Chain A
Amino acid sequence: MPDQLEMLRRITDDPSLSSAQKARALSLAAENMLPYPALDAETAKALDARVICDMFEGHAPYKPRYVLPDYAVVLTKGSDWLELPVPQDLDEALNTLMIAYHHVPSVTGMPVYIGKLDDLLLPFCTGVSDDDIYRKIKLFWRYIDRVLPDAFLHANIGPTDNRVARTILRVDAELKQIAPNLTLLYDPATSGDALLSQATGNIVECSKPHVANHPLHAATFDARGYGIVSCYNALPIAGGASTLTRINLKEVALRARDTRHFFTEVLPHYADLAFRLMRARIDYLFNHSGFFDSFLVTEGWIERDRFTAMYGIFAMAEAVDVLQAKAGQTGRYGHDAAANALGHRISRALSDLVQAQPMENVWRGRAMLHAQAGLSTDTGLTPGVRIPYGTEPDPVAHVQALAPHHAYYPSGISEILTLDETIKANPLAVFQLCKGALASGFREFTANVASNDLVRVTGYMIRLSDVAKHNAQKGSRTNTTGLGAEAAAKTAILQHQPRVMGQEFVAGHRQ
């Protein structure tokens, strides 16, 4: 007990935490003083070794990991519990949502889903001028970022082209805030090039929104619909996900003698342990926590039987490279056709395992496979099925190497295509790349405009680091005075503002 008290004391005395952050850390610490939901010895051992992982969700899951309320319920019926009347105009609708968000739990303590905002708000926009919509949404956006500052908090728009979706894109590019995160649901048949073009223009400005492949997602879910939340998770609306556990595929591969052993014994074994972990957590949430007695259920914002279980995997790249090495093959994941095909085979095997496993208290009775996008502690392990950062091929080859995986991950999979800054002069290239990725079967398109070391300036590729070295040699006679400050500025820039790296080289020029 003294140890635990000391840990609590460290939190209350930590000068780097705000009081709200301390309260949150204290609640997590208290939860984790409780015993873990009962696990068999084998599962507990695999969890301890982090071959399987519970995402550190906590020892007593008293709320689902992700909750996606159907906010149309509170907007059309009001709420007895919250004493909210049915909103009559845009101001009242926005106010109702702002109140509603505070009553939606999730693993982060903040809502991860704030709704399909154009569908929700359009009925209140009749007779409201474009300018009024713009001003009200801008204030709404500022409120969200300042009061619910969490990048996992996610808004959805689309697939129709409409005034609210357009205004949200305009405001989002102007404010460039962390929150909310934003996904455009895109349907090539109905969204139109103009809306996608505005979205890809935004990507060049602020690396948002993400673009979801609406026809693929719509076919996975039902008429009630789906939402994209947190790190590109696709989940049922009026439900969500109870839990997310994940398998470290590299650790699984290391425990296999060879590829055959991996597929026939080791992968099915750890897959089974992950199911057991998942069941223990879901059992606690559904049968002990009392969560589903909440007004969210009785008023119909969510339904008890619309919560899926996300069956995550990560470190596909490392797993394939480990198996390739065991087979004496040199081809690397992301670059070699045979290595890529082995990866696709692993995804198919995982999908089959998940399909074959009945789950209680889970939407449609089966978990949903998920390419998990990583935790900050995953050193040396690549998220989901991604190609290790810094070794990616050109964006087209990148998409083509990974597209076959996407069919197997209905609850979410994402690749981040890093595009160098030259793309800023040509947003149409992002538009085209996005269309190509979605047409190739990508469920989600995410691009990040950043300073790559390797840049093609006109007809040629160069490494900015080579040029920097070159510049330093040429300038060594005169650049002694500013070096200290320059180095400090450079370090700070590289850490916090990757987009201005190009300008930093200019500073070197001026000396």
Chain B
Amino acid sequence: MQAIVSKTLLFSCVDGPGNRMVLFLQGCNFSCPTCHNPHTKRRCNDCGLCIPVCAPKALSLVEGKIAFDASLCTNCDDCLRICPISANPMVSLMDVGQVLALTRQNLPFLTGITLSGGEATAQLKFSVALFTAIKEARDLAHLTCFVDTNGHLGPVGWDKLLPVTDGVMLDIKAFDEGQHIYLTGRGNDKSLASAELLAASGKLYELRLLMIPGKTDTRRELEALVALVKRLGAHTRVKLNAFHNHGVRGPASAWETMTKDRLEQIATTLRAAGLSQVITPVVWL
């Protein structure tokens, strides 16, 4: 079984506890106008539009399929900018054995491994197979396995993934159903149910909220957040991310950026309402 991987990192300190190897899996079931990695949304349809813009000729069509030669790539990302469907022609296919080999090469540096995206749970079979293999390997079993997800996965899916998962970072895009559909193209019932299910299983490492001025920082949204966290446990880690329009394509690039003052104000409000672990960004854009 293979995963479609957009990018692999050997060092990440922002994808869970400690240093984590991160696999960004290609493809997402949401369509967020605020996405900062829009090139991870869709899967390549081999249209070939990116081939002429690839100056070092790292891309070509072989028997109707895109072929990518990483050794020629200069990381200019011109292919991502030309892609009409928010896909990535530079993805690689990796099977579980290849990921385990990469993990072993870097083992002393790693606290664990995190699957992100795109949407990691959209490649559920691979995710389950990889984490199972890590837990079963004597030399790797100490690594923690984390998932960064939008929570659009039902209880049957979680039943398969959670037994081999140590922690989940769950994004809640909005509490108001209409706002959620506007921000993702889908309803939020699955994501909210995932929050409850993950908290009940003890695997909810962190809730992540993207604060967008006038959209997700309204009084009603924050009240709904407080109510959810109180149901899950007031000690739940709540990570506030600040929306920034840099790197965003389409209409959201004109949306207002979240300021540090406003975000600190939100954090103060949440703490005053009884949330004990509200985390704000270290670096400001």
Question: Does chain A bind chain B?
Answer: yes
In the complex, A420 Cα to B17 Cα: how many Å? 16
Distance in angstroms from A227 CB to nearest chain B CB is 27
Interface string of A418-436 (1 = CB under 8 A from B): 0111111110110111011
Assuming the contacts A433-B19, A467-B244, asked whether A422 and B285 have C-beta atoms less than 8 A apart, the reply is no
| One of B6-14, B133-141, B225-233 at the interface | B6-14
Report A427-484 residues with CB < 8 Å from chain B CB.
428-429, 431-433, 435-437, 439-440, 451, 455-460, 462, 464, 466-467, 470-471
Residues of A within 8 A of B283 (CB): 420-422, 451, 455, 457, 464, 502
| One of A69-77, A139-147, A279-287, A391-399 at the interface | A391-399
| One of B87-95, B181-189, B253-261, B267-275 at the interface | B253-261
- Taking a contact as CB atoms under 8 Å apart, the answer to whether B246 and A436 are in contact is no
| One of B46-54, B103-111, B216-224 at the interface | B103-111
Place the interface of chain B in its size category: 35 or more
- Taking a contact as CB atoms under 8 Å apart, the answer to whether A440 and B14 are in contact is no
In the complex, A497 Cα to B148 Cα: how many Å? 34
- Taking a contact as CB atoms under 8 Å apart, the answer to whether A421 and B282 are in contact is yes
Assuming the contacts A425-B279, A426-B18, asked whether A460 and B11 have C-beta atoms less than 8 A apart, the reply is no
Place the interface of chain A in its size category: 35 or more
Residues of A within 8 A of B117 (CB): 459
How many pairs, one residue from A and one from B, have CB atoms within 8 Å of each other in the complex? 112
Q: Is the interface of B mostly helix, strand, loop or mixed?
A: loop
Distance in angstroms from B264 CB to nearest chain A CB is 10
Distance in angstroms from B211 CB to nearest chain A CB is 13
Assuming the contacts A422-B14, A426-B13, A460-B36, asked whether A396 and B106 have C-beta atoms less than 8 A apart, the reply is yes
- Taking a contact as CB atoms under 8 Å apart, the answer to whether A467 and B285 are in contact is yes
Residues of B within 8 A of A431 (CB): 18
- Taking a contact as CB atoms under 8 Å apart, the answer to whether A459 and B109 are in contact is no
- Taking a contact as CB atoms under 8 Å apart, the answer to whether A459 and B37 are in contact is yes
B163 at the interface (CB under 8 A from A): no
Assuming the contacts A459-B37, A470-B246, asked whether A425 and B11 have C-beta atoms less than 8 A apart, the reply is no
In the complex, A399 Cα to B116 Cα: how many Å? 25
Distance in angstroms from B151 CB to nearest chain A CB is 16
Residues of A within 8 A of B259 (CB): 506, 509-510
Residues of A within 8 A of B205 (CB): none
Distance in angstroms from B201 CB to nearest chain A CB is 23
Report B58-75 residues with CB < 8 Å from chain A CB.
none
- Taking a contact as CB atoms under 8 Å apart, the answer to whether B109 and A464 are in contact is no
B281 at the interface (CB under 8 A from A): yes
- Taking a contact as CB atoms under 8 Å apart, the answer to whether A432 and B110 are in contact is yes
Report B7-51 residues with CB < 8 Å from chain A CB.
9-15, 17-20, 24, 36-37
Q: Which residue of A lies closest to B21 (CB)?
A: A396
- Taking a contact as CB atoms under 8 Å apart, the answer to whether B19 and A429 are in contact is yes
List 14 A-B pairs, Cβ < 8 Å.
A394-B9, A394-B11, A425-B282, A426-B14, A428-B19, A429-B20, A432-B111, A457-B14, A457-B241, A457-B281, A502-B283, A502-B284, A505-B285, A506-B260
